[in-house]
């Protein structure tokens, strides 16, 4: 990060509102254009996302990391067992989300969160991880490619006619 101290730490319940705001701001930035603004600004959808984020923060199977920059929450990541596995393989983790506030893009916060995710997976003896990325989000796809993620089998429907594509990472030892 340029010009300040960055702290990656476990998220605490008091982080929920900031995490929800970051998630909404980041997704609005990368969906803007193909997804109509009224859909992005839907308060019911924002409330639903906040509720889901809160559930993940309270799920003992998930790890939620917060990134603090200049004394404020600038990003977060959520790790957990793969959502599409009824009986999760303990050697497989999933990057459920990683988001950085657009005000902090290109400052190394996403990379610091990614490094912390890899450390958490190593500590848990996880050897592979998938992530689903909106196919039209070229910025995110370039970020993941830079960090060693490669195309993997799997797609699911996404907004504006663009699917989510699955990428996979072999956790470096």
In percent, how much of the chain has pLDDT > 70? 98
Under the phi-then-psi rule, with left for phi > 0, alpha for psi from -120 to 50, and beta for the rest, what region is 70? left
Average pLDDT, the chain: 91
Q: Does 124 reside within a domain? A: yes
Instruction: Give me the DSSP letters along 35-100.
Output: B-HHHHT-HHHHHHHHHHHHHHHH-TT-EEEEEEETTEEEEEEEEES-TT-SS--TTB-EEEEEEE
Q: Does 1 reside within a domain? A: no
**Per-residue pLDDT tens for 4-33?**
789 999 999 999 999 999 999 998 888 888
Looking up residue 61, the CATH number of its domain turns out to be: 3.40.630.30
Q: Does 40 reside within a domain? A: yes
pLDDT at res. 21: 95
Instruction: Please answer whether residues 63 and 80 qualify as being in contact, where contact means their C-beta atoms are separated by less than 8 angstroms.
Output: yes
What's the total number of domains in the chain?
A: 1
**Per-residue pLDDT tens for 59-97?**
999 999 999 998 899 999 999 998 887 777 889 999 999
Instruction: Please answer whether residues 92 and 131 qualify as being in contact, where contact means their C-beta atoms are separated by less than 8 angstroms.
Output: no
Where is 5: in which H helix or E strand? Answer: none
pLDDT at res. 1: 53
For residues 40-44, give the mean pLDDT.
85
What's the domain range around 59?
A: 6-170
Angle CA(92)–CA(96)–CA(101) in degrees, nearest 5?
145
């Amino acid at each position: 990060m340029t010009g300040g101290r960055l702290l990656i730490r476990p998220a605490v319940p008091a982080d929920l509102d900031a995490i929800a705001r970051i998630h909404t701001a980041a997704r609005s930035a990368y969906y803007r254009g193909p997804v109509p603004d009224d859909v992005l600004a839907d308060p019911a959808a924002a409330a639903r996302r906040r509720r889901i984020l809160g559930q993940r923060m309270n799920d003992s199977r998930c790890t939620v990391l917060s990134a603090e920059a200049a004394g404020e929450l600038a990003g977060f990541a959520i790790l957990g067992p793969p959502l599409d596995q009824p009986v999760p393989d303990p050697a497989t983790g999933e990057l459920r989300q990683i988001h950085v506030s657009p005000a902090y893009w290109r400052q190394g916060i996403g990379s610091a969160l990614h490094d912390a995710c890899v450390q958490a997976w190593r500590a848990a003896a996880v050897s592979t991880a998938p992530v689903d990325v909106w196919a039209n989000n070229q910025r995110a796809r370039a970020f993941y490619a830079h960090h060693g993620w490669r195309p993997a089998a799997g797609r699911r429907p996404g907004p504006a006619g663009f699917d989510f594509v699955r990428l996979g990472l072999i956790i470096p030892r």
